[in-house]
Amino acid sequence: MVESNALESSRDAALRVLKKYWGYDRFRAPQDKIISSILEGNDTFALLPTGGGKSICYQVPALLAEGKVVVISPLISLMLDQVKSLEKRGIKAKALHSGLSSDEVDIILDNFVHGPLKLLYISPERIASEIFQVRYYMAKIAFIAVDEAHCISQWGHDFRPSYLQISLLRELKPEVPVIALTATATPALVEDITAQLFLKNPNIFQNSFSRDNISFSVARSDDKHTELKRILEKMKGSCIVYNRSRSGCGKIAAMLREHKISATIYHAGLAHEVREDNQKAWMEGKVKTMVATNAFGMGIDKADVRCVIHVDVPSGIEDYYQEAGRAGRDGLKSFAIALINPSDVMEAQKLFEVNYPGPDEIKRIYIKLCQFLGIGIGGGAGRSYYLDLEEFGQKSKISQQKLGAVLKILEKQGWFTFSDAIKSPTRLKVTGRPQDLLGFYAENDLRAKLLTQLLRMYEGLTIEHAAISLKKIAVALETDISRIGFLLKVLHQEGIVDYLPSQEFPEIVLLLDRPNDNDFRIDELAYEALKTVAGKRLMAMQQYFLAPKCRQMMLLEYFGEKAQSCGICDVCLGSQEISYTVEEKRMALISIQKLQAGTKVGQWLTSWPLNRRKKNATMPRRLEQRRVY
């Protein structure tokens, strides 16, 4: 009876916190049970599909627990979005990332140990820092939250070797419970994640992956722009169009705008401010359609997305389901549509080969990378570098696609960590003694006034680099920011200051010294194993597109759920009956089986039924004729 009352009290308290900070009156199932589990000190595994409210499952108990909470997240941009959202609600939260100075990191860690800071977001790479480990050991930790927990499994779709370091935290404080959260994991992955995180008899909570309000459909089209325009003209509410290439995003958005459909773009090649402005315009409903690469969507919670459209073949069902699941979070009828044609399937196979080059190609790119960053043989370990991917690709004549793939492979092989781009602050250090410098220029020279202002506003500039604000300096000197930036460049050229302008590049932290070129090796067995798993994921994705079977049923079976036909996808509505005979459907399945048996894509594509249209068939049929919506 006492335990029952305590549990009821815990749930009541959680509801009060939910109402106070988020404004909701009730939890979604099984959020309340997950929260109770971690508050009771149990290792907990939460497997909730996209839009299932994973963050609530650790943020609410963080405010109820005695002690602090460490949140481990793979994306800096996602961490910063989460922290910004929490701070708006009046919740004490901070994130440690590469854009902070050592002093800023020290202040945050002190606040975490001794101050009111409740949630500390860190990337998995931060765990290896001795400074962090010491403060973690000093702090009273309530629990650890591992977001995107699938990253810890080398068989997952986004394996991050640095996630394996979470075991260090468990060794330092074995009594601290862990909550693992992910949106996409097969039963085998759940088992592997549990083992890698050393979860002790975890309470596992899993929501069905079923999204009954989403109609999953595949539209086979040779004229995607026309089909895309037709779909979006009929759609009410916000839409997302996913395209693999950055240039493709721009072309699609331009085409839509030409046809009076408001659209903007989002990809990693845009400046931080541009991405933020475009995202804000879409979130506020000022722009209907976001055309984006897969860099967009993580942490986005927009309820009225009526349609998510893919115009390329994604690398696997996990990625596809996560992106498609951004539709219909308000529970209203929505659509996940894939526009494909035979050449897309062939292109996906070619891209797969680009993403998994041979060992010699990986070695060549690693050597060029070290040369570009100025890393000498026998050195580099422990140092961090900002990498301008575009400049490196152009100078080395390597495509961005191949470059990105090789960087991921080298990270998985443990050569370095590779973080997503973050805007680093402007930094400056005065290289001479103030008493010598202040008489260096004439009194009315703006450079003298700038130096004086810098030394007044920022302490310790002669000792180490410090973050400075060009805007604040410009206001103090009653001039504009561009003039201050120009003068700082002049002072830098004259050797008076070391000026490091704000940058927005991914950061590489080397874990190993650069070996002699002849000694460079990758673990080929591990590499081939990862390539095999990725190939199986792509095969499952292609089967989803090709097989004449209920779309949602196929998705649910992939994630280990038993399912019945959804009744609302293109297959269930009979659009396949219009285009294909029973024999053609049988041939499609045979084609997939050939792929599974290792047949080259070019051989089996020629027998794919999409290439054998009936003489008078109208392919592709317009979606409105298919009665999809």
Q: Final residue of a domain: which of 164, 190, 206? A: 206
- Residue 596's nearest CA partner among 543, 558, 546, 555 is 543
CA dist., res. 429 & res. 143, Å (int): 39
* Tens digits of residue pLDDT in 443-492: 778 888 899 899 999 988 888 888 888 888 999 999 888 889 899 999 99
Examine residue 94 and state whether it is found in any structural domain, yes or no. yes
121 pLDDT tier (thresholds 50, 70, 90): very high
> Mean pLDDT throughout 531-547?
88
pLDDT at position 11 is 81
pLDDT at position 595 is 47
CA dist., res. 42 & res. 206, Å (int): 16
CA dist., res. 433 & res. 421, Å (int): 35
Q: Final residue of a domain: which of 206, 235, 262? A: 206
CA dist., res. 570 & res. 216, Å (int): 7
Q: What is the CA 28 to chain-centroid distance, rounded? A: 24
Exposed, middle or buried: residue 330 (CB in 10 Å: 0-12, 13-18, 19+)?
middle
CA dist., res. 171 & res. 129, Å (int): 15
Based on the structure, what is the number of domains in the chain? 2
In terms of average pLDDT, the best of 2-16, 416-430, 433-447, 510-524 is 510-524
Examine residue 226 and state whether it is found in any structural domain, yes or no. no
Which is it for strands 289-292 and 178-182: parallel, antiparallel or unpaired? unpaired
Strands across the sheet containing 263-266: 214-220, 334-340, 305-310, 238-242, 289-292, 263-266
**Cβ neighbours of residue 142 closer than 8 Å, sequence gap 6 or more:** 61, 62, 65, 66, 67, 68, 69, 176
What are the beta bridge partners of residue 334? 214
CA dist., res. 197 & res. 203, Å (int): 14
Least confident of 132-141, 343-352, 381-390, 583-592: 583-592
Give the number of C-alpha atoms closer than 13 A to the C-alpha of residue 311, restricted to the C-beta side.
Answer: 24
In terms of average pLDDT, the best of 332-346, 409-423, 590-604 is 332-346
> Mean pLDDT throughout 602-628?
36
pLDDT at position 596 is 52
Residue type, position 87, single letter: E
* Tens digits of residue pLDDT in 42-67: 999 999 877 778 999 999 999 999 99
Say whether pLDDT at 149 is over 50: yes
Examine residue 404 and state whether it is found in any structural domain, yes or no. no
**Cα distances (angstroms) measured from residue 174 to each of 37, 194, 257, 499:** 17, 15, 56, 45
Using an 8 Å Cβ cutoff, are 373 and 418 in contact?
no
**Distance between first and last Cα of the chain:** 53
Tokens standing for residue 468 = 């400075």
CA dist., res. 200 & res. 627, Å (int): 50
pLDDT at position 426 is 86
> Mean pLDDT throughout 255-274?
88
Examine residue 155 and state whether it is found in any structural domain, yes or no. yes
Say whether pLDDT at 599 is over 50: no
345 pLDDT tier (thresholds 50, 70, 90): confident
> Mean pLDDT throughout 384-395?
88
| pLDDT mean across residues, the chain | 85
Say whether pLDDT at 171 is over 80: yes
pLDDT at position 297 is 79
pLDDT at position 232 is 94
**Cβ neighbours of residue 12 closer than 8 Å, sequence gap 6 or more:** none
CA dist., res. 106 & res. 85, Å (int): 23
Using an 8 Å Cβ cutoff, are 396 and 372 in contact?
yes
CA dist., res. 468 & res. 488, Å (int): 11
pLDDT at position 619 is 30
Give the number of C-alpha atoms closer than 13 A to the C-alpha of residue 454, restricted to the C-beta side.
Answer: 31
> Mean pLDDT throughout 563-569?
90
Alpha helices (H) in 259-358, listed in sequence order? 272-283, 317-324, 342-355
Examine residue 97 and state whether it is found in any structural domain, yes or no. yes
300 pLDDT tier (thresholds 50, 70, 90): confident
Tell me whether the omega of the peptide bond preceding residue 620 falls within 30 degrees of 0, making it cis: yes
627 pLDDT tier (thresholds 50, 70, 90): very low
Exposed, middle or buried: residue 463 (CB in 10 Å: 0-12, 13-18, 19+)?
exposed
356 pLDDT tier (thresholds 50, 70, 90): very high
Examine residue 580 and state whether it is found in any structural domain, yes or no. no
Q: What is the dihedral of CA 83, 306, 325, 289, to 10 degrees?
A: -60
Say which residue the tokens 């797969």 belong to: 352
* Tens digits of residue pLDDT in 574-589: 754 334 445 544 544 5
Q: Final residue of a domain: which of 206, 222, 244? A: 206
Q: What's the CATH number where 149 sits?
A: 3.40.50.300
CA dist., res. 517 & res. 416, Å (int): 17
Give the number of C-alpha atoms closer than 13 A to the C-alpha of residue 461, restricted to the C-beta side.
Answer: 26
CA dist., res. 70 & res. 90, Å (int): 18
Examine residue 408 and state whether it is found in any structural domain, yes or no. no
Give the number of C-alpha atoms closer than 13 A to the C-alpha of residue 96, restricted to the C-beta side.
Answer: 27
What are the beta bridge partners of residue 238? 305
pLDDT at position 462 is 85
Domain that holds residue 36: 2-206
SS3 506: strand
Give the number of C-alpha atoms closer than 13 A to the C-alpha of residue 476, restricted to the C-beta side.
Answer: 17
Examine residue 553 and state whether it is found in any structural domain, yes or no. no
Q: How many CB atoms lie within 10 A of CB 374?
A: 9
* Tens digits of residue pLDDT in 407-442: 989 988 889 988 766 666 788 998 877 666 666 787
351 against 365, higher pLDDT: 365
Using an 8 Å Cβ cutoff, are 197 and 149 in contact?
yes
pLDDT at position 207 is 84
CA dist., res. 162 & res. 559, Å (int): 25
pLDDT at position 459 is 84
Say whether pLDDT at 610 is over 70: no
